[in-house]
């Protein structure tokens, strides 16, 4: 099936008892057994739930994977991945990544003896300098959050396989509509389902998609044992959101292209970070591994003053100042004080995350209204 057909049909089976075309919300904690251990595939809803099963199957199909696992948040999914490791193991991560990922790596798991290296991955060979016998995982985002760097998934996956290292990709910004990391050799894909997959800012959830049966079993054991699972109502909302993912992403991409061009030509804007520009570093990689360039954009101001960035954010009306991204409505944020505040300033400065950097999640509104909103706010400085 083509992507748009998969988004509507993959993993979805009409309810066998009623014929309901939408997967029911199985709002139950437990299931009746005919005899001890003799059940219909479901014992307890932390372990399995039919609504969650349908969503997991749908997500696996969208990422061209075999197994999907859903968690109560994106960080819950990342938590499960790191729990595959042991004290003394090492992880190589991109140096530009979501602040919550940095926080769970450095503030939670580092104290249990797991060592993390945060490096630039725009040049894949740079990774070789950090690999040793203790390296067990390479963790990437592409495009990265919030600097929109592009990382060559296929090149890094080849390095990982050469050294028998697992490779994971946070595919939240791109979504399965734009990019499928498993097709380029990644071992697992992570999504903050909260974002584009849900698409309506009404649910918090995470997911992992893998092909390897053993890896899927290990993650499912952690999922059940640690209990960071989503409820059936949230799973239903995401199943509904996925049905329009392809339509929404087409509009996000169209609007993103227009807004990126508008900002690039604005006299008060210093730099725009969007992988669709031909002069963007690794634009050629983005063209190869992405089907389009998405609706996530970051930009800096020419004077790089925090107070000017704050004034713009306070004066935007359609771009709502809020955490998160990927909803139908446009959102704006200030990474240095919001999503990435947990990253020390010195580390933010290394990747160019300046005080004036503003991140936009361009929604699906009329793009002329979005341009006018930006124009009005920029005119305040």
C-beta neighbour count of 31 within 10 angstroms = 17
Burial environment of residue 214 by CB neighbours within 10 A (0 to 12, 13 to 18, 19 or more): exposed
156 near 167, Cβ under 8 Å? yes
pLDDT tens digit sequence for 73-130: 999 999 999 999 999 999 999 999 999 999 999 999 999 999 999 999 999 999 999 9
- Please compute the mean of the pLDDT values over residues 304-331 and round it to a whole number: 97
Rounded Cα gap, residues 165 and 93, in angstroms = 13
Vertex 165 angle, CA 161 and 167, to 5°: 85
- Rounded to 5 degrees, φ, ψ at 259 are -70, -40
pLDDT tens digit sequence for 148-166: 999 999 999 999 999 999 9
269 near 302, Cβ under 8 Å? yes
Rounded Cα gap, residues 326 and 174, in angstroms = 10
pLDDT tens digit sequence for 199-254: 999 999 999 999 999 999 999 999 999 999 999 999 999 999 999 999 999 999 99
**17 has pLDDT over 90:** no
Whole-number average pLDDT of the chain: 97
So what's the pLDDT on residue 78? 98
Domains of the chain: 3-240 (3.40.640.10), 245-379 (3.90.1150.10)
Active-site positions read: 46, 98, 170, 195
So what's the pLDDT on residue 3? 97
308-331 as b/e: b if 16+ CB within 10 A: bbbebbebbebbbbeebbbbbebb
Rounded Cα gap, residues 347 and 329, in angstroms = 31
**349 has pLDDT over 90:** no
- Encoding tokens for residue 82? 């790191």
**350 has pLDDT over 90:** no
- Rounded to 5 degrees, φ, ψ at 379 are -70, -10
**311 has pLDDT over 90:** yes
Report the run of H or E that residue 296 belongs to, with start and end: strand 296-301
So what's the pLDDT on residue 345? 87
Please list the residues that pair with 212 across neighbouring strands: none
Q: For tokens 């040049």, what's the residue?
A: 123
The fraction of the chain above a pLDDT of 70, given in percent, is 100
pTM: 0.96
pLDDT band (50, 70, 90) for residue 284: very high
pLDDT band (50, 70, 90) for residue 188: very high
C-beta neighbour count of 73 within 10 angstroms = 17
């Amino acid at each position: 099936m083509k992507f748009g057909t998969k988004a509507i049909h993959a993993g979805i089976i009409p309810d066998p008892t009623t014929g309901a075309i939408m997967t029911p919300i199985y709002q139950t904690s437990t299931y009746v057994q005919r005899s001890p251990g003799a059940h219909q595939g479901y014992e307890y809803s932390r372990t399995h739930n039919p609504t969650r099963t349908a969503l997991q199957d749908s997500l696996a199909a969208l990422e061209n994977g075999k197994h999907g696992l859903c968690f109560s948040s994106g960080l819950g999914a990342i938590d499960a991945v790191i729990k595959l490791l042991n004290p003394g193991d090492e992880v190589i991560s991109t140096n530009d990544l979501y602040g919550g990922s940095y926080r769970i790596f450095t503030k939670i798991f580092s104290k249990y003896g797991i060592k993390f290296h945060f490096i630039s991955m725009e040049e894949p060979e740079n990774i070789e300098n950090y690999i040793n016998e203790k390296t067990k995982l390479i963790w990437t985002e592409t495009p990265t959050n919030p600097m929109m760097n592009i990382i060559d998934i296929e090149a890094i996956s080849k390095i990982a396989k050469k050294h028998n290292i697992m490779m994971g990709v946070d595919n939240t910004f791109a979504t399965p509509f734009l990019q499928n990391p498993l097709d380029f050799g990644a071992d697992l894909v992570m999504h903050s389902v909260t974002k584009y997959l849900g698409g309506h800012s009404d649910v918090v959830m995470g997911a992992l998609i893998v092909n390897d049966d053993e890896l899927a079993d290990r993650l499912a054991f952690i999922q059940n044992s640690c209990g960071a699972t989503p409820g059936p109502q949230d799973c239903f909302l995401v199943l509904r959101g996925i049905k329009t993912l392809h339509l929404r992403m087409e509009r996000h991409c169209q609007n993103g292209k227009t807004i990126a061009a508008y900002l690039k030509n604005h006299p008060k804007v210093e730099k725009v970070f969007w992988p669709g520009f031909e002069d963007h570093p690794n634009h050629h990689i983005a063209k190869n591994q992405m089907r389009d360039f998405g609706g996530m954009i970051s930009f800096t101001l020419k004077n790089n003053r925090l107070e000017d960035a704050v004034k713009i954010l306070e004066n935007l009306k359609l771009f709502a100042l809020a955490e998160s991204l990927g909803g139908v409505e446009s959102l704006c944020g200030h990474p240095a004080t919001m999503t990435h505040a947990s990253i020390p300033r010195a580390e933010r400065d290394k990747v160019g995350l300046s005080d004036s950097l503003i991140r936009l999640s361009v929604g699906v509104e009329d793009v002329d209204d979005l341009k006018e909103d930006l124009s009005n706010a920029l005119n305040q400085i």
